[in-house]
Structure 1
Amino acid sequence: MKLRTAFTAFAAVTAAALALSGCAQKSTASNGGGAGDVKTVRVFISGDTNIQKLWTDDLGPAFEKANPGYKVQITLDLHGEHDAQTMAKLSASVTQKKDPGFDLVDGGFVPKASAANFLDPVDTSKISALGEIPADVVKAGGTGGIPYRGSSVLLAYDTKAVPAPPKTLDDLLAWIKAHPGKFTYNSPKSGGSGGSFVATVLDKYVPADVRQKMTVGYDKSLEPAWDQGFATLHGLNPYVFQKGVYPNGNQQVLDLLASGQISMAPVWSDMFTTAVANGAIPATVKATQISGPSFTGGAAYLGVPASSPSKDAALKVANFVLQPEQQALIVKDISGYPAISLDKLPQELQTKFANADTNNLRKGYFDSMTKDLNNLWDQKVPGK
């Protein structure tokens, strides 16, 4: 999850970079020196439209209402398509001590930016709620990462066809072979739910000490430990939906579940719960966690660029979204896991996660290891 190598070259201008630059110019003007000026906090989101909607419809307006004189401005880089350019922009802004164009970032690359010292370090003196979040979750975000929500991959199953779901990975693998065509997962490059299933099968054979190294750094020499897992995955081809042809993306898997073409699949907790709530997936489809090992999950992090001219305002927003009222909004709106303890939320929201351990999410592999894993899956798994 952490990238140790800093980006030192500023990338060529892209659409995302232009958007950020324009955002910076407008926001600088609105942050003028007059006493009556509105203080604008520019939030940059690298992710999906559900996270954009969370900020534009709920978190942003709630902060503005509670803090007169402040404005939250949202910019979205859909699916993080320009993360490399954003990291380069952060690098250049820190090196040149210039405004990066945003004051608070919500994206999967935040731990990498933190490891590269692109973010302002935080602790409980700046973000008081950090003291209430599990230490390993805080540590995974680096010195500049602020965990504010989370999710994990769960096993979704149609109760009409599966009255008693598998409880362990071994049970799941046996079920897949006993019910040909009724299970699938998306290719790991196309989404994290499939990637989590792949990593979980690999982890069945990877020694614990080796896996630990693979979650905190990059070591290509450790990758032969995946061989048995890849062989197991290849061996599943005759039994998965469409026999060796895999869906493209998390949503395609949910669509197959909704249409009844499959009976079981790994799914993101937040996407699944939202789909059930809005009727996109039948109420007969439920989700649970397996063991031996469980599917992976983790926190999403906010970060304040080290060269932001509005650090105090950005930290004010970060503190705000970690309060119970805003954490409840995250649960209600996107079915995300709260970063703070579940017992601080209303009882009706706690029941949403009765079958998921939100305080003990199993980490995925280090980013560079994951890229190798995805490429190796392409080479070793699909096909007849």
Structure 2
Amino acid sequence: MLRMMAGVGGALMLTAGLAQAQDGNALLGMSWDEIVETARGGEVNVFMWGGADNINAYVSDYVGGLLEEDYDIALNRVPLTDTAEAVNIVLGEVEAGAAAGAVDMIWINGENFRTMKQADLAWCGYVDKLPNAALVNFDNPAIANDFGTPVDGCEVPWSRVQFAFAHDTARTPEPPRAIPELLAWAAANPGRFTYPAPPDFTGAAFVRHVFTHVAGGADALVGPFDQAKFDEVAERTWDILNELEPHLWREGRTYPTSITQLQQMFANQEVDLFFTYDPAEVGTAVVNGIFPETARSYGLSDGTLANTNYMVIPVNAANKAAALVLQNLLLSGEAQLEKAQPEIWGAATVIEPDRASEKVQAGFAALERHPSVVSIEELGQAALPELQADWTSAIEDGWIANVGN
């Protein structure tokens, strides 16, 4: 990480001419061909969660290879354990008056995007410049809103995901298929279940599932934050999770710190259930020999959370032209199809395939789902909307104060 950051730091050493060329308003006045020529021969520094080898390889090898071959642009992937790290870098640079920052793009959604948008840290108004934006249905509420925050042309969608659980059919043939069943199952099978401690993203999502169950469903929590409603639901939620704690792995004295650790625990048979915000991860783990072939992902009868993730360009990005070229590439039918391949990632696309070329349409039609991965159609029948960021941050902070401590 430090070695990669040292290389990225070179982006700060811009000549006056390059800094002017990367001015956002100047770029918006250019044609697409002019933007591409401005970007050619440069670099783009992408800050993103680095916990999945297959995703890292897709970005560095496939996307980076195309970017280098077609545009002579070097892609520098900077791995993060928490997206907030990149947001804080941008915030510090902007507060210090750094006009040419080290961060050109961030893989983001939810509270981190809301923070950037509210603090005017996100570059907005450029989406119409991207030719491949025509492949996206920006009228779709699931794309137009990021955890309840209107996107407003300040970020570009990249993938869609929905939370799913996983079990090994050889060890746990009948897993719990609703939150109440899961809580009862964990108490009846002490030590065989746990979840990563928030602020881990996936662990916090599990806590939101319990919170939503206690509230009586997602409809009770949709909309702006309601302190009275939060207090009512939170008290019962913390009671449930504290009562669950002695039945968790290691009697709840400690929690996994990341979804990567939980994945390894499931692989080592330390726990019997796994969950992820990317069901395709289960198929990839089977292909890579991490999970047994008998592993299967599944949804819950009372629903699981679903969301879209995005790419955002900071307002002080030093290489905005290259970032635009990269975003356009990420939205291409070919790149979205490659990302959807089960052996690559298996990620759900954000484009409308019927707007892409006939070859891309045929590719999507021919996709074969890995047998360990629950179908998007099955999951989608019980998809829950993510809560607005005020809710998610309050739930996360509340868990840390009332359960984690």
TM-score by length of 1: 0.78
Structure 2 match to 1:251: 260
Say whether the 8 Å CA contact 1:194–1:266 is kept in structure 2.
no
1:121 equivalent in alignment to 2:131: no
In 1: Cα distance, 2:228 partner to 2:38 partner: 59
SS at 2:145 equivalent: helix
Say whether the 8 Å CA contact 2:135–2:352 is kept in structure 1.
no
- Deviation of 1:146 after TM superposition, in Å, equals 0.6
Query: What are the within-5 Å matches in structure 2 for residues 355-366 of structure 1?
Result: 355-357=375-377, 362-366=384-388
Going from structure 1 to structure 2, the CA distance change for 1:382 and 1:306 (only over 3 Å counts) comes to closer
Deviations 1:320-350 (A, max 9, x none): 2112221133234334332225784534535
1:289 equivalent in alignment to 2:299: yes
Amino acid at match of 2:197: S
Structure 1 match to 2:164: 154
Say whether the 8 Å CA contact 1:181–1:242 is kept in structure 2.
yes
Structure 2 match to 1:5: none
Going from structure 1 to structure 2, the CA distance change for 1:24 and 1:362 (only over 3 Å counts) comes to farther
- Deviation of 1:157 after TM superposition, in Å, equals 0.8
Say whether the 8 Å CA contact 1:60–1:72 is kept in structure 2.
yes
Say whether the 8 Å CA contact 1:297–1:363 is kept in structure 2.
yes
Say whether the 8 Å CA contact 1:24–1:102 is kept in structure 2.
no
In 2: Cα distance, 1:310 partner to 1:376 partner: 39
- Equivalent of 2:144, from 135, 138, 142? 138
Going from structure 1 to structure 2, the CA distance change for 1:132 and 1:26 (only over 3 Å counts) comes to same
- Deviation of 1:278 after TM superposition, in Å, equals 0.5
Deviations 1:11-38 (A, max 9, x none): xxx99987644223279899999x8994
Unaligned segments of structure 2, at least 5 residues? 22-36, 355-360
- Deviation of 1:267 after TM superposition, in Å, equals 2.6
In 1: Cα distance, 2:323 partner to 2:164 partner: 33
In 2: Cα distance, 1:52 partner to 1:115 partner: 29
In 2: Cα distance, 1:369 partner to 1:16 partner: 35
In 1: Cα distance, 2:353 partner to 2:267 partner: 29
Structure 1 match to 2:275: 266
Deviations 1:191-226 (A, max 9, x none): 22222221101111226455113xxx5554542122
* Structure 1 residue ranges (4+ consecutive) displaced by more than 6 angstroms after TM superposition: 14-18, 26-33
Say whether the 8 Å CA contact 1:296–1:364 is kept in structure 2.
yes
1:223 equivalent in alignment to 2:224: no
SS at 2:284 equivalent: helix
- Equivalent of 1:42, from 41, 44, 51? 44
- Deviation of 1:122 after TM superposition, in Å, equals 4.1
Going from structure 1 to structure 2, the CA distance change for 1:58 and 1:89 (only over 3 Å counts) comes to farther
Amino acid at match of 1:119: W
- Deviation of 1:159 after TM superposition, in Å, equals 0.5
1:206 equivalent in alignment to 2:212: no
Deviations 1:221-271 (A, max 9, x none): 542122212222222223322222322211221122111222223234254
1:187 equivalent in alignment to 2:194: no
1:380 equivalent in alignment to 2:402: yes
Going from structure 1 to structure 2, the CA distance change for 1:62 and 1:284 (only over 3 Å counts) comes to same
Going from structure 1 to structure 2, the CA distance change for 1:129 and 1:139 (only over 3 Å counts) comes to farther
Going from structure 1 to structure 2, the CA distance change for 1:172 and 1:320 (only over 3 Å counts) comes to same
Going from structure 1 to structure 2, the CA distance change for 1:125 and 1:297 (only over 3 Å counts) comes to same
Going from structure 1 to structure 2, the CA distance change for 1:341 and 1:239 (only over 3 Å counts) comes to farther
Count of equivalent residues: 360
SS at 1:381 equivalent: helix
- Equivalent of 1:62, from 37, 62, 66? 66
- Deviation of 1:169 after TM superposition, in Å, equals 2.2
Going from structure 1 to structure 2, the CA distance change for 1:342 and 1:155 (only over 3 Å counts) comes to farther
Say whether the 8 Å CA contact 2:5–2:78 is kept in structure 1.
no
- Deviation of 1:100 after TM superposition, in Å, equals 2.5
Structure 1 match to 2:184: 174
Say whether the 8 Å CA contact 1:218–1:368 is kept in structure 2.
yes
SS at 1:373 equivalent: helix
- Deviation of 1:90 after TM superposition, in Å, equals 6.0
Percent identity, aligned pairs only? 18
1:24 equivalent in alignment to 2:37: no
1:336 equivalent in alignment to 2:344: no
Amino acid at match of 1:351: R
- Equivalent of 1:78, from 77, 80, 86? 80
Amino acid at match of 2:369: T
Say whether the 8 Å CA contact 2:43–2:73 is kept in structure 1.
yes
Say whether the 8 Å CA contact 2:211–2:237 is kept in structure 1.
yes
Amino acid at match of 2:301: S
SS at 2:74 equivalent: strand
Going from structure 1 to structure 2, the CA distance change for 1:303 and 1:98 (only over 3 Å counts) comes to same
Amino acid at match of 1:372: A
In 2: Cα distance, 1:277 partner to 1:55 partner: 19
Say whether the 8 Å CA contact 2:159–2:349 is kept in structure 1.
yes
In 1: Cα distance, 2:20 partner to 2:90 partner: 27
In 1: Cα distance, 2:271 partner to 2:138 partner: 40
Amino acid at match of 2:136: L
Unaligned segments of structure 1, at least 5 residues? 1-13
- Deviation of 1:158 after TM superposition, in Å, equals 1.3
1:351 equivalent in alignment to 2:344: no
In 2: Cα distance, 1:278 partner to 1:133 partner: 38
In 2: Cα distance, 1:74 partner to 1:44 partner: 6
Amino acid at match of 1:100: G
Amino acid at match of 2:194: T
Say whether the 8 Å CA contact 2:282–2:295 is kept in structure 1.
no
SS at 1:87 equivalent: helix
SS at 2:42 equivalent: strand
- Cα root mean square deviation, aligned: 3.6
